[in-house]
Every structure is written in C-alpha cells, then in structure tokens.
C-alpha cells in the first residue's frame, strides 16, 4: 500500500527566526497533491490541546472527521482513507485553539 502525504505544520513566523514553533499561526502544505486513494495527514502542535481535523467536499459538505481529541505537542499523524470517495476536490480543515487553516486536496483515481 502506498501513501500520498499531506503536511499540516505549525511553523515559526517570528521575526527573530528562532526556530521555535509559534502558537499564533498554522501552515498547511500538500506534498504531493493530487492524492490517489489514501493519505497520511501530518501536523505539528506547539502545545498539547484539542485538535479537530475534518475533510469537506468542494460543496462544503463534511465528509469525515479524522481527529477530534486532545493530542500531545509535537508531530502527529491522521490517516485519510479516500478509497470510497469520487475523484474531485476536497478540503482538509484543521482547528487548534483559535487557529483554523484549510488546504485543498485533489483526489484522483
């Protein structure tokens, strides 16, 4: 089984460039995109807290909730099984505290 990877990471945006994770922003990046049948969605948290990660259709319909629980700080992974979905455009939406970010996912078969 092969996986495509979608990276969702919290990165440093401080002017000092300290390399520390900044809890004021989220960045999403799909690598590669398009996705075929499944993906590991990787994300990094600046501290422990409740994370909600959901997949939506292009029409805005919620397709799946991948994560809705407290996760530890650092790197985490959620599995996205898209094998039963039709080709098209989907969106991964992550919420952490007051931060919300959305990334387009192109699904091809």
Average pLDDT over residues 11-31: 46
In this predicted structure, the answer to whether residue 25 has a pLDDT above a threshold of 60 is no
In this predicted structure, the answer to whether residue 79 has a pLDDT above a threshold of 80 is yes
Q: Which CATH architecture has domain 4-107?
A: Sandwich (2.60)
Average pLDDT over residues 14-19: 42
Q: For residue range 83-99, what is the model confidence (pLDDT) as tens digits?
A: 999 999 999 999 988 88
Q: For residue range 46-63, what is the model confidence (pLDDT) as tens digits?
A: 888 999 999 999 999 999
Mean pLDDT of the chain: 77
pTM: 0.77
Q: What phi and psi, each to the nearest 5 degrees, are found at residue 9?
A: -135, 145
Q: Report how far residue 90's alpha carbon sits from residue 47's, in angstroms, rounded to the nearest whole number.
A: 28
76 neighbors 46 (Cβ within 8 angstroms):
no
Boundaries of every domain in the chain:
4-107
């Amino acid at each position: 089984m092969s996986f495509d990877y979608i990276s969702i990471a919290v990165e440093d945006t401080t002017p000092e460039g300290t390399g520390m994770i900044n809890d004021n922003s989220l960045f999403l990046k799909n690598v590669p995109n398009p996705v075929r049948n499944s993906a590991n969605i990787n994300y990094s948290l600046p501290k422990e807290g409740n994370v909600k990660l959901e997949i939506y259709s292009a029409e805005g319909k919620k397709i799946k909730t991948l994560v809705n629980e407290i996760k530890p700080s650092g790197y985490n992974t959620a599995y996205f099984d898209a094998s039963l979905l039709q080709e098209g455009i989907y969106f991964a939406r992550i919420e952490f505290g007051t931060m919300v970010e959305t990334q387009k996912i192109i699904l091809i078969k």
